[in-house]
């Protein structure tokens, strides 16, 4: 049920347009995947996600284990049925929580002893636990259990995480091959190594030697500069297998997506569009907009005249500002709706440009128009 094929490639940059066949549909890449951590993309219904052309969304193993729990999701018939989403789902392994909940856990090669961020109860996380949970969730794409480290970090810590990520990938694959249904679920490996080029190369060689159907690049967008991110992607570009999908985890800033696509990345995800939308920070064709700004109080133009989303077709900047300033739920919904559609559309437009042989022109035009005084670094 799983197959990836490249339908077009940019001869200048190596950007790819592909098709990833899954049990719940074909994913046309490049693709941005909205994050639905708790079996919902915040502020959006499944119908609304379809209206913005979302092809695949994410769920999180750690969070879904805590709430509502494996038993309820299994009783519901899996995550697709539980949340009424009939398109592909990718589940994060819980490995990122090893990083984000660092103060609540203890890591060894065997497992991670973690305290629930909700009630402090103890949870034992391991590759086998993650594969069992992701099998129960029934996602189309599961991820190996891995260890991410903060940036900056020491070389010693980065190397320790690479060693552990390889060990955990081997154990993830062993359990997956014995217990999970590979005709219904694909397991992707994850490359770590922080900003150390030799560690990235080593990790990529070790993980790709296991012959997973797809590969992710983890441990970026966790504190490094944009230039450091691009340097690592450049290093990995020719090492990652060309005939398999490449997924850059946790990256959703518009310029990072465009630059990632130019370096052969096929898949992206991030909470940035939804989180920023709820806070009134919007991405547009011309850059970042804080809709709470006083200058928008009398601005009756669309948020982004080049955007085709429901928000931009029906409401003005003045109205969106009013909603944001009043804390109205509709404001968070409309801003989230736009940010998600804008981000999904970046990948759509890039794909179209790759197929039509004009990707270098597309990327230059995008970069010339998109301005952000903060350069995406909050």
Catalytic residues: 92, 269
Give dist(CA 34, CA 31) in Å, integer.
10
Q: What is the CA radius of gyration of the chain?
A: 20
Query: What is the secondary structure of 56-111 as a DSSP string?
Result: -EEEEHHHHHHTT-HHHHHHHTSHHHHHT--S-EEEE-SHHHHHHTGGGEEE-SS-
For 147-173, b/e burial (b = at least 16 CB within 10 A) is bbbebebeeeebbbbbbbbbbbbbbbb
| Residues 350 and 267: beta-carbon distance below 8 Å | no
Helix, strand and coil content of the chain, in percent to the nearest 5, comes to 45, 20, 35
Angle at 58 between CA 173 and CA 360, to 5 degrees: 95
Six token digits for residue 50: 């379809």
Closest CA relative to residue 79, chosen from 169, 176, 177, 185:
185
Strand partners, 35: 58
Give dist(CA 249, CA 319) in Å, integer.
34
| Residues 153 and 181: beta-carbon distance below 8 Å | no
| Residues 165 and 151: beta-carbon distance below 8 Å | no
| Residues 137 and 79: beta-carbon distance below 8 Å | yes
| Residues 338 and 282: beta-carbon distance below 8 Å | yes
Q: What is the rounded end-to-end Cα distance, in angstroms, of the chain?
A: 41
**Cis peptide, bond prior to residue 152, ω within 30 of zero:** yes
């Amino acid at each position: 049920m799983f197959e990836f094929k490249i339908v077009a490639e940019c001869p200048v940059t190596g950007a790819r347009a592909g098709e990833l066949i899954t049990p719940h549909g074909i994913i046309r890449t490049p693709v941005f995947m909205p994050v639905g951590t708790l079996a919902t993309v915040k502020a959006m219904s499944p119908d609304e996600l379809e209206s913005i052309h979302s092809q695949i969304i994410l769920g999180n193993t750690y969070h879904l284990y805590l709430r509502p729990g494996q038993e309820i999701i299994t009783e519901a018939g899996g995550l697709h049925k539980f949340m009424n989403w009939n398109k592909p789902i990718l589940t994060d392994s819980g490995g990122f929580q090893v990083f984000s909940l660092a103060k609540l856990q203890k890591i060894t090669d065997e497992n991670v002893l973690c305290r629930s961020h909700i009630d402090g109860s103890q949870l034992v996380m391991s590759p086998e636990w993650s594969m069992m949970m992701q099998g129960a969730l029934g996602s189309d794409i599961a991820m190996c259990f891995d260890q991410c480290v903060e940036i900056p970090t020491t070389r010693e810590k980065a190397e320790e995480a690479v060693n552990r990520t390889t060990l955990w990938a081997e154990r993830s694959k062993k359990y997956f091959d014995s217990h999970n249904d590979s005709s219904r679920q694909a397991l992707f490996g994850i490359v770590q190594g922080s900003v150390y080029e030799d560690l990235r190369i080593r990790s990529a060689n070790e993980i790709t030697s296991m012959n997973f159907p797809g590969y992710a690049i983890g441990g970026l967008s966790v504190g490094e500069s944009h230039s450091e991110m691009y340097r690592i992607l450049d290093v990995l570009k020719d090492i990652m297998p060309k005939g398999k999908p490449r997924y850059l985890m946790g990256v959703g800033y518009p310029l990072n997506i465009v630059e990632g696509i130019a370096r052969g990345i096929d898949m992206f995800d991030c909470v940035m569009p939804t989180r920023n939308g709820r806070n009134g920070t919007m991405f547009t064709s011309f850059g970042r907009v804080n809709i709470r700004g006083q200058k928008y109080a009398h601005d009756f133009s669309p948020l982004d005249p080049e955007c085709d989303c429901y928000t931009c077709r029906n409401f003005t900047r003045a109205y969106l500002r009013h909603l944001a300033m009043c804390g109205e739920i509709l404001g968070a919904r409309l801003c989230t709706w736009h940010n998600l559609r804008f981000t999904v559309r970046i990948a759509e437009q890039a794909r179209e440009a790759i197929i039509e042989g004009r990707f270098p022109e597309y990327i230059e035009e995008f970069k010339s128009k998109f301005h952000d005084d903060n350069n995406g670094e909050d």
